[in-house]
Amino acid sequence: MIGQEIINKTTHTIPNSPGVYRMMGKNNSVLYVGKAKNLKKRLQSYGRKSGHNNRITKMISLIKDVEFTLTENEEDALLLEVNLIKLHKPKYNVLMRDDKSFPYIHFTKNFLPTRIKKHRGKKKEKGDYFGPYAMEGSAFKAINILQKTFLLRTCSDSYFKNRERPCLLFQIKKCSGPCTNEISKKNYEESVEEAKFFFNGKSEGIKKKLAKKMRESSDELDYEKAKYYRDRIIALSNLGISLSINPKNLKEADVFAIDQNSKIACIQVFFFRSWKNMGNKPFFINNINGLDKDEILESFISQFYSNKTAPKLILVSNKFRNSKIIEKVLTQKYNRYIRVMVPQKGERKLIIEHALDNSKQALKRHMKEIISNLDNIRNLKEALNLEKIPRRIEVYDNSHIQGSHSTGAMIVADKEGFRKNQYRKFNIKNAKSNDDFGMMYEMLYRRFLRLKNKNSDDLDFPNLIIIDGGTGQVSMVKKALKDTKIEKIEIVGISKGKKRNDGNETFHLSNKEKIILKSNDPVLFYLQRLRDEAHRFAIGTHRLKRNKAIMFNPLDEIPGIGTKRKRALLNSFGSAKAVGKAKISELTHVEGISKNTAENIYNWFNELN
């Protein structure tokens, strides 16, 4: 039965109600998720024999079944549609690939003096949040300037509570030292409030106050202090300057501007808070054949605010059909009126035009990168005698120090470059220490197990595996493929020359053929980039794991052992390992350790051992 027949058969039993429909393909895969005010009428439109663009015609030809879910109203249908798109990632939907939350600056609020820190995700902790920032680097830059200007603390609560004297940040004038009462609680909170005033757009008063202190220091011939205040004024001014347009009448808004060609759309998102531009970020949307700008923008915005806080005003470059529904859903979600509009004149119109120009330029740059990557991938096929042009390349590497904290890493590359949202980390569990071959096998075996039930045509099924290693590592990949009964994946190993210098690499193929490329070959440079990115990601993952282990102390897990007792034990024995070897009689000699506590410590380590 062809797709149109399946759709027409389904429409006989479907009611005239709002809801969400799912177009199902072979192996029960979800091809498309859509919402409708009237499900029957919407599905009937798919059942027509003509009037569809190429994209919809192709999708209809692949349909094996149609499923639907009824909802009480169109707003509920919109929320369900967004959830199902994020869950199934259907091939024919507009997908927002980078759905990470944006960073905020968080002013904490608890029994300790206020701390400033970068925050992502849900706002569960008490305090004030300022942002969002388009880039993580912008958030860190703002925190650094706030430290210099207002001398606010950034240390963790546990670090703060254990200080007996000020840390280095106090010495270099990046913290006022509230941990050891170098500043009174009242004065510290005044500095916190001044920092919040700055974020609320009231920076001029703070600058005047600093300028007055600068003049007073200069009059007193204390030029070093005057220079310090001058630098604080400059830092605040730099932080306050917007990245593009500094709006006079736009306090809080998100701006969306879209440009597209026949294959890819670019949506440029700008964030404005407290009359300041907090930055912008481009999002690239694939699989848009036959879709108009308004359809793409509507689907994107619905997904965008599924895990992000919406401002009171959303400015868009194109009007779309369900803007009122999105307004209603967001208003109910945040319990305040949120407006979606296309500005027609004035400052808001200029901002949209500026965002649209950024979108066009970003799309041009993105297309040039794709063309460059496509050339590299085509040349890669010829240079390494591959059967076909790779669609998805996965590169693997592992990292450890004498077998400790062993980790593996996988990066992904395709015609659009590095796909960082698809990178994966592996904790090596079974391979022996210093066994690079065993680590490679374990990592690849676990990866291939996830591919067993997938078709080789799936977008997340690799065509080419690249590993950092020679013949031995390649044999481990072949063994993992054989053990998981997976075929049709080509393998390339990269080993360095005798002096381990770049440019002397040997490439090992699965058929035991070895290839050496010329030192000025563009394919060599491309492969080096892939290998180095995998190496960077593997080392970064290993460092995080190692640092986490360094911070762990077995004494923290013993019931009844708090900060003071832990410090006393470490002062007496030097390390947690030495505490674990101590006898009960030795433990009781430590200040604050009773016989019962000593027995608990001894039994804890004895059971662990």
Averaged pLDDT for residues 68-96: 82
* d(C-alpha 450, C-alpha 148), whole Å: 49
Residue 135 in this model has a pLDDT that exceeds 50: yes
Rounded to the nearest 5°, which phi and psi values hold at 462?
-75, 145
| Amino acid letter, residue 64 | K
The pLDDT, as a whole number, for residue 201 is 66
Tokens of 119: 């925050």
Concatenated DSSP letters of 462-527: -SEEEEES-HHHHHHHHHHHHHTT--S-EEEEEE--TT--TT--EEEETTS-EE---TT-HHHHHH
- The arithmetic mean of pLDDT across residues 518-529, rounded, is 87
Q: What is the phi/psi pair of residue 272, to 5°? A: -120, 125
| Backbone phi, psi, residue 407, to 5° | -135, 155
Between the alpha carbon of residue 377 and those of residues 183, 285, 420, 525, 530, the distances in Å are 60, 21, 18, 12, 12
User: What six digits make up the tokens of 223?
Assistant: 């030029």
pLDDT at residue 242, rounded to an integer: 41
Examine the pLDDT at 1 and tell me if it is beyond 60.
no
By CB neighbour count within 10 A (0-12 exposed, 13-18 middle, 19+ buried), where does 258 fall? buried
Distances (CA, A) of 202 to 192, 195, 197, 274: 14, 9, 5, 9
Contact 66, 8 (CB under 8 A): no
Average pLDDT over residues 573-577: 78
Identify the CA nearest to 396 among candidates 473, 454, 460, 452. 473
Residue 609 has pLDDT above 50, yes or no: no
Percent above pLDDT 70 for the chain: 93
What does the alpha-carbon distance between residue 555 and residue 290 come to, in Å, rounded to a whole number?
A: 62
CA distance 277 to 295: 27
Q: Check whether 95 has a pLDDT greater than 80.
A: no
How much is the pLDDT for 314? 93
pLDDT at 608 over 60: no
Average pLDDT, the chain: 84
- List the one residue out of 132, 110, 109, 111 whose CA is nearest residue 119: 132
Average pLDDT over residues 294-309: 87
Query: Following CA atoms 65, 70, 73, 77 in sequence, which dihedral angle do they give, to the nearest 10 degrees?
Result: -40
The C-alpha atoms of residue 82 and residue 75 are separated, in whole angstroms, by 11
Which residue do the tokens 């007193």 mark? 220
Question: How confident is the model over 67-79, as a mean pLDDT?
Answer: 84
Q: Which stretch of 321-330, 394-403, 530-539 has the lowest confidence by average pLDDT?
A: 394-403
Q: What does the pLDDT look like over 26-36, one tens digit per residue?
A: 878 888 898 88
pLDDT: is 545 or 594 the higher one?
594
The share of the chain scoring above pLDDT 90, in percent, equals 11
Question: Which pLDDT score is estimated for 511?
Answer: 83
pLDDT mean over 429-437? 76
**pLDDT score for 519:** 81
SS3 97: coil
pLDDT greater than 80 at residue 287: no
Cβ neighbourhood burial of 69 (10 Å; 0-12, 13-18, 19+): middle
pLDDT over 60 at 2, yes or no: yes
Between CA 20 and CA 79 the distance in angstroms is 10
Going from the N-terminus, what domains does the chain have, and what CATH number goes with each? 3-88 (3.40.1440.10), 122-240 (no CATH), 252-364 (3.30.420.10), 393-549 (3.30.420.340), 554-608 (1.10.150.20)
Q: Is 156 helix (H, G, I), strand (E, B) or coil?
A: coil
pLDDT digits (tens, 9 = 90+) for 490-500: 999 998 766 65
Note the pLDDT of residue 412: 94
Going by C-alpha positions, the residue among 385, 369, 363, 384 that lies closest to residue 419 is 369
Q: What is the chain's length? A: 609
Per residue in 314-332, pLDDT (tens digit) is 999 999 888 899 999 999 8
CB 30 within 8 A of CB 17: no
Name the more confident of 131 and 171: 171
Tokens at 109, concatenated: 């609020």
- Per-residue pLDDT band for 501 (boundaries 50, 70, 90) equals low
Among 45-49, 133-137, 316-320, which range has the highest average pLDDT?
A: 316-320
pLDDT of residue 269: 92
Please report, for residues 319, 347, 592, the alpha-carbon distance to residue 360 in angstroms, rounded to integers and kept in the order given. 18, 20, 68
pLDDT at 450: 86
- The reported pLDDT for the residue numbered 552 is 63
Mean pLDDT to the nearest integer, 534-546: 84
What is residue 577's predicted lDDT score, i.e. its pLDDT? Answer: 79
Token output for 60: 């209809």
H or E, element range at 315: strand 313-316
Please give the Cα distance from 130 to 152 (Å, whole number): 15
Helices (H), 202-322: 203-219, 223-240, 293-304
How confident is residue 257, by pLDDT bands cut at 50, 70 and 90? very high
pLDDT, tens digit (0-9, with 9 covering 90-100), for 175-214: 989 999 888 888 898 888 888 877 776 666 777 877 888 8
Average pLDDT over residues 336-354: 90
Q: Annotate 399-447 with DSSP letters as a single string.
A: EEETTEEEEEEEEEEETTEE-GGG-EEEE--SSPTT-HHHHHHHHHHHH
Q: Which has the closest alpha carbon to 496: 479, 512, 473?
A: 473
HEC per residue, 278-301: EEEEEEEECCCCCCCHHHHHHHHH
At residue 340 the predicted structure's pLDDT band, cuts being 50, 70 and 90, is very high
pLDDT tier at 605 (50, 70, 90 boundaries)? confident
